[in-house]
Structure 1
Amino acid sequence: MRDESRWTSTPITEDILRGALELERTEHGVLPHRLPAWARAQCADGQLAMAESQPSGVRLAFRTGATAVELDTLPTRRIYLGIPPRPRAVYDLRIDGRLVDQASAPGGNALIIDMATGAVEHQPGPVGTLRFADLPEGVKDVEIWLPHNETTELVALRANAPVEPVPDRGRRVWLHHGSSISHGSNAASPSTTWPALAAASAGVELVNLGLGGSALLDPFTARTLRDTPADLISVKIGINLVNADLMRLRAFGPAVHGFLDTIREGHPTTPLLVVSPLYCPIHEDTPGPGAFDLDALARGEVRFLATGDPAERAGGKLTLTVIRAELARIVEQRAASDPHLHHLDGRDLYGEADFAELPLPDQLHPDAATHRRIGERFAELVFSGHGPFAARPA
């Protein structure tokens, strides 16, 4: 029987929430954002609004002797008509760094999206409660990783023992920006996206600005990176520029320079890693825009294809091959005067041989096993040995 006298509520504030850049007060509680309000005000794109409000890498982190914890949340699911529905988003419970439980929140809002017409219907729903019980006795560090793929309002946190912030461990902060793969698309759970796995392996604190469909060299994103405290910064550039068919080669080079210039205004000597695109056959030599494969949708499958013409490269259209070469050139040029700037070819994380073994199920995004491989390789190549983020003696 639950002893209500032992249960206490803990306000959800910045001191127990990691990975978010801003908390918005809502009717129900707080909504974590991964872009600040001033940045959100500079772009009305619905894709960006969805991506930044999905709390990839955001987690509640606290120390407690509790054996049971409850979290009230109000998720907002997106349901696309004509596309097989995704399963409910997952919350990961980690204790002293180990994944010990997972759960999904009941209730919540739904956005019903008709992709043929663009019509959106909002269906309000109730707040749901997640309960994690039978936790180990004794004081422990608890993390509840919020869903990486579902907008989540946090309403209340309760436990059957007092909760306090985890003391500062002096860990380095890794700030990462990228596209939907960095965001965590098709990962099994929020703490098993490739950036989360790499961060856990390296013992660093992750701030994940992976923004699905929205890694587009936006100036407000560069200024956000500039203004966010970090010990290590990485930016993964390329795939969204191709599948959005956003710019041509003439604009791409100066845009990359400007993006890096802005980051350097706030982090002049911070190790900064530029990562080029992972291997993706549909866009290696074929420009965008990308699109849903309608034949696959008719079979109830989600797959993507490139709709451009390889001949259009002569007119400056971007492909992944073009972008990789240009990024390598830009980093080599800048590194002559910036010894803390580094480059990593994305195919070293996931290349042609990996695709043969672990193909991209929808031709664009990796599955859970591939997220793990990418995370392990990033940790090995970047955080270990002579990697650009390896810990150096003081």
Structure 2
Amino acid sequence: MHDRDRTTPVTEELLHGIVELERTDDGVIPHRLPARARNQAQDPQLAMAESQPSGARLRFATEASRIELRGRATRFRYEGAPPRPAGVFDLLVDGRHTRQAGLEAATVVSIDMTTGDRQIAQGEIGGVVFDDLPRRPKTVELWLPHNETVELAGIRSDAPIRPLRDPRPVWVHHGSSISHGSNAVHPTGTWPAVAALRADLHLLNLGFGGSALLDPFTARTIRDSPAELISVKLGINLVNLDVMRLRAFGPAVHGFLDTIRDGHPHTPLLVISPLLCPIHEHTPGPGAFDPDALARGELRFTATGEPGEVAAGKLTLTVIRDHLARILAERAHDDPHLFYLDGRELYGESDAQERPLPDALHPDATTHLRIGERFADLALSPGSPLATDRRPG
């Protein structure tokens, strides 16, 4: 057997930033929600989002000069919409970004946006190769694509691979598609990854595109996950999916935070209100694809509600920020480790003028970098809500 034929299976000891692994005939699929939560949701959107391993990475020590990850991606295409970019892997060697590559092998799911019908073209197992690496002891982190599901069949290398624990403080973050990484172009370019790398944190990213809906099973997942700091960004999906009214919103926020506190009574917990999103600041949802933009071959979103419906209890981002600020101020009297951040400090009016949201809903890749750096400064730097001196122990 040649050294390069050495194959190491992908195990929990190698993978970080996930909740559990699903065993398949060909390998494993990383998940960011446990099976019990997935079964309770029964939602195709959440199933797609949580299986896309945003923030997940393989971490190991090796002297290998050649590493090949064997696997298969699952990619979604929407009929009538511009094609989405394929996912890539980011390779970090001793903490430094070294290169990127993507899997050619992929199962493609084509979705008719008018009917919801799906056509599936099954792909084969393939490989993504990183060679000419320095032949010396090194720490390797291979970040998985944030925007496609990956089934991992094993790692081929020309030297042994040894799993490494991650000694950095664990940061659990929950949010919507922006936290998931929409419009970022590589996995360490999503804003939570930018912030985690800058602050030297062990990230568990529970950002789920279209699915930050105050679901009880998400709160239980955070409750049951090891964490030394926690942040939750709430609001935008409640508006653009139009899933609840103001009467239900307050109790749902309280219940979500109460569940987290059941497992983490003293862990620093930061609640972030929505970033600026002009289409939903004063106009309720539901949100929808802009048909005029689709006719031009562009993907943009629009709000379809009426501002006058706010009086009847419909939610807008302005309403949500006002009530989140009130709820957090009230709870902070009895919870000194609870903090609030207005999302417009991460992306606000001046940002929207300089770098408007290209699809009216999600920031571009450069803005992800800006948001991540701002979050590191506002929430993770010395003296800030999630700083080292506020963490238990």
The normalised TM-score by structure 1 is 0.98
Look up the match of 1:189: 186
Residue 127 of structure 1, aligned match among 113, 125, 128: 125
Look up the match of 2:94: 96
Measured in 2, the distance between the counterparts of 1:152 and 1:263 equals 29
Alpha-carbon shift at residue 127 of structure 1 (Å) = 1.0
SS of aligned partner of 2:262: helix
Q: Structure 1's 26 and 256: CA in aligned 2 closer, same or farther, altered over 3 A?
A: same
Measured in 1, the distance between the counterparts of 2:279 and 2:4 equals 57
Look up the match of 1:250: 247
Whether contact under 8 Å (1:238, 1:323) holds in the other structure is yes
- For 1:339-354, what aligned pairs fall within 5 Å after superposition? 339-354=336-351
Q: What runs of 5+ residues in structure 2 fail to find an aligned partner? A: none
Measured in 2, the distance between the counterparts of 1:311 and 1:42 equals 35
Measured in 1, the distance between the counterparts of 2:165 and 2:247 equals 48
Whether contact under 8 Å (2:382, 2:389) holds in the other structure is no
1:18 matched to 2:10? The reply is: no
Look up the match of 1:34: 32
1:367 matched to 2:359? The reply is: no
Measured in 1, the distance between the counterparts of 2:22 and 2:4 equals 30
Letter in 2 for 1:102: Q
SS of aligned partner of 1:38: helix
Measured in 2, the distance between the counterparts of 1:229 and 1:22 equals 13
CA RMSD of aligned residues (A): 1.1
Whether contact under 8 Å (2:273, 2:320) holds in the other structure is yes
Q: Structure 1's 168 and 215: CA in aligned 2 closer, same or farther, altered over 3 A?
A: closer
- For 1:101-250, what aligned pairs fall within 5 Å after superposition? 101-169=99-167, 171-250=168-247
Measured in 2, the distance between the counterparts of 1:38 and 1:213 equals 20
Whether contact under 8 Å (1:237, 1:276) holds in the other structure is yes
Measured in 1, the distance between the counterparts of 2:269 and 2:166 equals 24
Alpha-carbon shift at residue 88 of structure 1 (Å) = 1.7
Measured in 2, the distance between the counterparts of 1:288 and 1:244 equals 6
Look up the match of 1:278: 275
Q: Structure 1's 6 and 131: CA in aligned 2 closer, same or farther, altered over 3 A?
A: closer
Measured in 2, the distance between the counterparts of 1:70 and 1:200 equals 24
Kindly tell me the number of residue pairs found equivalent between the two proteins.
391
Letter in 2 for 1:165: P
Whether contact under 8 Å (1:77, 1:109) holds in the other structure is yes
Alpha-carbon shift at residue 5 of structure 1 (Å) = 3.4
SS of aligned partner of 2:76: strand
SS of aligned partner of 2:389: coil
Measured in 2, the distance between the counterparts of 1:22 and 1:154 equals 13
Measured in 1, the distance between the counterparts of 2:11 and 2:151 equals 13
Measured in 2, the distance between the counterparts of 1:301 and 1:378 equals 30
Whether contact under 8 Å (2:21, 2:30) holds in the other structure is yes
Whether contact under 8 Å (1:7, 1:161) holds in the other structure is no
Q: What per-residue deviation string (whole Å, max 9, x for no partner) do you get for residues 338-393 of structure 1?
A: 00000000000000100101110000001100000000000000011311111129
The normalised TM-score by structure 2 is 0.98
Alpha-carbon shift at residue 167 of structure 1 (Å) = 4.2
Whether contact under 8 Å (2:4, 2:156) holds in the other structure is no
Residue 83 of structure 2, aligned match among 56, 72, 85: 85
Measured in 1, the distance between the counterparts of 2:116 and 2:389 equals 52
- For 1:281-360, what aligned pairs fall within 5 Å after superposition? 281-360=278-357
Measured in 2, the distance between the counterparts of 1:305 and 1:121 equals 27
Q: What per-residue deviation string (whole Å, max 9, x for no partner) do you get for residues 187-241 of structure 1?
A: 0101110000000010110000000000000011111111111000000000000
Letter in 2 for 1:300: G
Deviation >6 Å, runs of 4+? none
SS of aligned partner of 2:231: strand
1:53 matched to 2:51? The reply is: yes
1:260 matched to 2:254? The reply is: no
SS of aligned partner of 2:369: helix
Letter in 2 for 1:355: A
SS of aligned partner of 1:141: strand
Whether contact under 8 Å (1:73, 1:129) holds in the other structure is yes
Q: Structure 1's 46 and 6: CA in aligned 2 closer, same or farther, altered over 3 A?
A: closer
SS of aligned partner of 2:172: strand
Letter in 2 for 1:361: P
Alpha-carbon shift at residue 6 of structure 1 (Å) = 5.0
Measured in 1, the distance between the counterparts of 2:275 and 2:46 equals 22
Q: Structure 1's 168 and 352: CA in aligned 2 closer, same or farther, altered over 3 A?
A: closer
Q: What per-residue deviation string (whole Å, max 9, x for no partner) do you get for residues 33-70 of structure 1?
A: 00001111111111010000011011111111111100
Q: What per-residue deviation string (whole Å, max 9, x for no partner) do you get for residues 168-193 of structure 1?
A: 43x11000000000000010101110
Whether contact under 8 Å (2:13, 2:165) holds in the other structure is no
Measured in 1, the distance between the counterparts of 2:158 and 2:151 equals 22
